[in-house]
Chains A and B, each alone.
Chain A
């Protein structure tokens, strides 16, 4: 029942969005050099914070843009949203 302020479309109902997990989970720059533990850490281990948490959401039934949102997981209060900041671009960085 949340109202989510999409950075592009403004406040919209939760049903228009899809949750994409915690933000700032960066893909390792060179996966082949990761140990199994490092790779597992990237794949499965999350902070699961109680309190303000940075998350990724996508406005799936709207502009279809991914963005970042800070939400208090205990109260569902939405603290802020902003366009996606992910610029990690792991493979490009690797190959160029």
Chain B
């Protein structure tokens, strides 16, 4: 095929530069400057898609982002993009495009059977039909049938960017209105950003045939762009869609790459004012069989002819309810394309229009309507009716115009209001949000001369509001005089047995609208959801108004009372790549690296992400599996000596005369009685009595505390302390200081840990008498200032050594080197979790959840004994907190030692033989204990403490097995080892 439909002359294409591309495997050619859609049309291809629901053949309908039909898959492999609108894809050498629906092929689609049986599938059929056995049973099949493209199989290889900026005025749209506004504002010295979604600036000037100052519009456009480019205070962003506007004058802009370094860039622009110069979208027409390939918007047919030198067809019929489509007839005629007729639904066609068409020799049928069309994969003709008389017309393109709807989506994002304009049969701006102005077609202007004058005036006013003085600019004289009136006629709906489409993209018909009303979905938002009109990729850009008018007509309510559905961002789809720019893969979130990272690496640690921290899970030696390494590390700690890096633990210092009082209120445990130099385990509750963190309260001096929090809770607990200190008890004199990053923390655990410390050069007496369990001391170790706490999470004799983070590598190496003779091992989080599980120590967040109160985990008595108030105390006095059937922490053992348990298994009563059944709780932690040589677990079981010694069943992924309920401590229940 060789561009049979390309006009001999004209267009903004470079005929010297031929581009090869393919569509469904067919090799085709187009020119530089083409869009994919214009290149397809140049090759005579209209039928590019099948419809969403009925699999009817569909063709290219529009020339812009409003396209409802031509959604294609472009590119291959990692760069395959689904749902790309052919109208918005610039043609490139080697571009591959495929249609998305149709099996086995676009031409022969078995799914078409749905169309032949369409009476079985009205709106809402799937809500009613696919309930048995469940929606999920059918979902896969239905999604395949609907076929909205395939995501790429591979990770996106391209780079995306994000950027932020401020400006005085953001102009959305660079058509005639936007450009005049940019000239006015640019010359006034304001910082201006002007963005347009098109490949090139100019908007309708790129496809209008009018003359400006007696020359083709391109000449004026070039002068205007030259001036704007030369202004340092004006930023021009072509290929950039203003996709959303948000509160406080923020807009997001998606810029498609012309820079090879990145594919797309997401701009966040904060402007003092926003001017919408977004133009208007031509609306479709509702008549029987209005969806065949070859039926297109009249403006689009003109667009393809004037801008791309493409004849959409050989013989065109135009159908309209307004004046604008006459320009299409005029332009097509100028290009030598046959215009068979203009079918005007209006009873009274303006005399000037009739005269003009008469002069061109085009037949106009006033007060006529289309009652049928024919042609399956391409329109062949239509049948119209005028004054009761029917007439057949042959044509291969039917250009329709149902009026123009201002593009006001951004206004609605910012919560401006719309009002219905009866004259134009469209919604126009009502109440403008603060800082917003609207100009040009978006404000309802219809003629170019009107656009220029009114935009200039409103921009001058806007500049003055922004504190700049603006002057008049030269307005180009428009010729020939545009005769177009803004009047759009309201056309009654036809009663036809044939289907009349309201929404092409989602296959919503007038019959569906009537059904919705019969089923009482008469509010516009309900109506939309029941029929799904306007809910596809195009968001009803060409069909919404017709759908609302249909609802108005069926219900007999005025369109003003019906209103519109809500416009939500984004205006057109935004890629996930752009939204995630800079935050993918390794850069997903900032990584927190341990101070002794290098030493861990040298020990071949397996790293894992824990809330951003990159922490060693275990340290496998040569030939060891991770599991073997964990078991070795656990056994070594129990029998000898291990070192664990605990640096991410939260370390918060609280000082001041009221520090003790403040913490006494913040912790469930008593703080007042804690002597300086001593440590105490502490639970923190929220005001609902629920456990939010645990840790160690260390009293360094009378007015100086150091709190250890969980690693994951470090920043949250810091904020929690600050919140209460600042907002509820500001008169308490306390100073809260986060020192987590300043101190590295190494835990030496195991029976030989004291022996190692005593070999180090230190001022500290590590003997049991001088530093017993749960006490703290400060001094020097190997020349470093150190805080040493006797705290144990493993159940072994254990010392937590805090030293300056900057010396972490050297210190860890020293411990490993000195400990070598004693048999030291480094142990990771997995071993620590096994050790604490053997000891029966809960891990807040794993064993507890958002319902756990102290009594559930065995701390009820301590909570009750503290007489003074503390956070959460009152909630513990509720009857529900004393309820005996609450889930309580228990230990669990399998009946046979070799049987495994996993966290997440649910408890079922002994009488239950199969799931589903009401759960009695679940296993919260489980691991193989190398000491006991069997699995041990903790779980939260309903009324668990009263059930010690009994068995309970566990349901785990289809398997049910019994476990024994035991006390939660499996190793050294009398705490002899850690006190040694």
Contacts and interface: CB of A to CB of B under 8 A. Distances in A.
A65 B726 contact: yes
Contacts of A76: 247-248
A84 B726 contact: yes
A27 B728 contact: yes
Nearest to B728: A27
Contact of A31 (B268, B415, B723, B873): B873
B732 A34 contact: no
Contact of B728 (A32, A39, A60, A88): A88
Interface string A1-29: 11100000000000000101000000110
B665 to A, nearest CB: 6
Contact of B726 (A1, A66, A88): A66
B869 A66 contact: no
Interface in B718-745: 719, 722-723, 726-732
Contact of A2 (B248, B719, B723): B248
Contacts of B875: 39, 43
A87 B719 contact: no
Contacts of B731: 87, 89, 92
A91 B415 contact: no
A91 B248 contact: no
Given A32-B869, A76-B248, A90 B874 contact: no
Contact of A60 (B250, B719, B726, B730): B719
B246 interface: yes
B703 interface: no
B722 A1 contact: no
Given A27-B728, A64-B722, A91-B665, A75 B248 contact: no
B687 interface: yes
Nearest to B723: A66
B877 interface: yes
B730 A32 contact: no
B688 interface: yes
Contacts of B723: 20, 58, 66
Contacts of A64: 722
Interface string A43-77: 10000000000001010100011100000000110
Contact of B727 (A1, A30, A66, A92): A66
B878 interface: yes
B753 to A, nearest CB: 38
Contacts of B877: 32
B415 A75 contact: yes
A79 interface: no
A34 B688 CA distance: 14
Interface in B681-702: 687-688
A27 B687 CA distance: 10
A83 to B, nearest CB: 10
A66 B874 CA distance: 25
Contacts of A94: 869
Nearest to A34: B874
Nearest to B665: A91
Contacts of A56: 727
A60 B716 CA distance: 11
A30 B874 CA distance: 9
Nearest to A60: B719
Contacts of A1: 246-248, 250, 268, 270
Given A1-B247, A43-B688, A76-B248, A87 B730 contact: yes
B726 A2 contact: no
Contacts of A75: 247, 415
Interface centre among B247, B728, B730, B877 (most CB of A within 10 A): B728
B727 A89 contact: no
Given A20-B723, A58-B719, A89 B729 contact: yes
Interface in B257-273: 268, 270
Contact of B730 (A27, A30, A34, A84): A84
A91 B729 contact: yes
A65 B730 CA distance: 12
A76 B878 CA distance: 38
Nearest to B686: A43
Nearest to B415: A75
Nearest to B738: A64
A31 B727 contact: no
A32 B870 CA distance: 11
A58 B723 CA distance: 8
A88 B729 CA distance: 7
Contacts of B728: 27, 86, 88-90
Nearest to A94: B869
B488 to A, nearest CB: 33
A27 B874 CA distance: 11
Nearest to B877: A32
A3 B248 CA distance: 7
Nearest to B867: A32
A43 B687 contact: yes
Given A31-B874, A60-B719, A84 B729 contact: no
Nearest to B245: A1
Contacts of B415: 75
Contacts of A34: 874
A92 B869 contact: no
Nearest to A26: B728
B410 to A, nearest CB: 14
A30 B727 CA distance: 17
A84 B728 CA distance: 10
Contacts of A92: 729, 731-732
A34 B869 CA distance: 13
Which of B415, B869, B875, B878 lies at the interface centre, i.e. has the most chain A CB atoms within 10 A of its CB? Answer: B869
A2 B874 contact: no
A38 B727 CA distance: 21
Contacts of A2: 247-248
A96 to B, nearest CB: 10
Nearest to A36: B878
Contacts of A58: 719, 722-723
Contacts of B874: 28, 31-32, 34, 39
A28 B871 CA distance: 12
A2 B250 CA distance: 8
Nearest to A20: B723
A31 B869 contact: yes
B22 to A, nearest CB: 43
A60 B248 CA distance: 21
Contacts of A89: 728-732
Contacts of A27: 687, 728
Interface in B77-94: none
A26 to B, nearest CB: 8
Nearest to A68: B727
A7 to B, nearest CB: 13
A56 B730 CA distance: 15
Interface string B349-391: 0000000000000000000000000000000000000000000
Contacts of B246: 1
B207 to A, nearest CB: 35
Contacts of A3: 248, 270
A93 B726 CA distance: 16
B247 A91 contact: no
B339 to A, nearest CB: 49
Contacts of B873: 31-32
Contacts of B729: 89-92
24 contacts: A1-B268, A3-B248, A3-B270, A30-B869, A32-B873, A32-B874, A32-B877, A39-B878, A43-B688, A58-B719, A58-B722, A66-B723, A75-B415, A76-B247, A84-B726, A86-B727, A86-B730, A88-B728, A89-B729, A89-B731, A89-B732, A90-B728, A90-B729, A92-B731
Interface of A: 1-3, 18, 20, 27-28, 30-32, 34, 36, 39, 42-43, 56, 58, 60, 64-66, 75-76, 84, 86-92, 94
Given A31-B869, A39-B875, 6 more contacts: A27-B728, A31-B873, A32-B873, A43-B875, A58-B723, A90-B729
Sort A-B residue pairs by CB-CB distance and give the 6 closest, nearest first. A31-B874, A1-B250, A1-B246, A76-B247, A66-B726, A86-B727
